[in-house]
Amino acid sequence: MRVIVATIALLAGLAVPAQAVVTMSPLKPCYVSDGDLPAQREKILVHATGFTPLAALTLQIDGATVATGTAGAFGEADAAVPAPFEGRDEHQFTLVIFENQNLKNNASATARVTNLAVTLRPRRARPSRRVRFDGRGFTADAPVYGHYVFGGKVRKTVRFAPQSGAPCGTFHARRRQIPIKQPAFGKWILQVDQQRRYAALPLTNAQRVIIHVQKSLKQP
């Protein structure tokens, strides 16, 4: 009995508590940037666990520090930081969060960021001409719609795509520039969003394109 007790005591003395593994919740596949101001860029919600309780932390995106703080009493960390700026296309970025005094305690993930934009090609065309519509940043799980507004009222709604393309909400379509017979002269607003019904303040990402309808000058 004494030998058994001594063996158990020896093994207990050699046991080393396992170090917690830092883990981070998955990021979204793609975030949206609609300007260079932080308020114009989608928030990245970060949640990580496994840090040393109350340890000083740093959060970086592509090597640049964007937030600092301390872990919670149970080693958890939560943050909301703006996505990186993207003014034209899309790109991949890397987010990492780590302990300042123990760099081995870290977690990282990659995602993409896209500009929110809609373009028409050619830029100048007759209202009845079929043009190419290209868009990106429409990341909701819904079709992409175009609402034609004139004089403050929606005149026509069309569906550009049954679903935007992953991961950054792209779409491509060929439609008449203004799908209305003999549209009125003046300023038309095309609002592209992912709501079937038009709303001046939509709940999804939206872009507005101004189309001027003018009288053509006939040569004598």
Do residue 146 and residue 209 come from a single domain?
yes
Q: How many helices (H) and strands (E) does the chain have?
A: 1, 15
pLDDT, tens only, 18-75: 456 999 999 999 999 999 899 999 999 999 999 999 999 999 999 999 999 999 999 9
Q: For residue 14, is pLDDT > 80?
A: no
If we measure between CA atoms, which residue out of 144, 140, 138, 81 comes closest to residue 114? 138
Single out the residue in 91, 114, 137 at which a domain terminates: 114
Q: For residue 4, is pLDDT > 60?
A: no
Single out the residue in 114, 136, 154 at which a domain terminates: 114
pLDDT, tens only, 144-186: 999 999 999 999 999 999 999 999 999 999 999 999 999 999 9
Domain membership of residue 30 (yes or no) is: yes
Mean pLDDT of 78-85: 97
In percent, how much of the chain has pLDDT > 70? 89
Q: State the chain's mean pLDDT as an integer.
A: 90
Full residue range of the structural domain in which residue 158 is found: 117-213
Q: How far apart are CA 131 and CA 179, in angstroms?
A: 11
Q: For residue 12, is pLDDT > 50?
A: no
**Quick count: other Cβ atoms within 10 Å of Cβ 47?**
13
**Res 216: pLDDT:** 73
Do residue 92 and residue 132 come from a single domain?
no
**Res 119: pLDDT:** 96
Domain membership of residue 219 (yes or no) is: no
Confidence band for 123, pLDDT divided at 50, 70 and 90: confident
Residue 36: exposed, middle, or buried by beta-carbon count in 10 A (0-12, 13-18, 19+)?
exposed
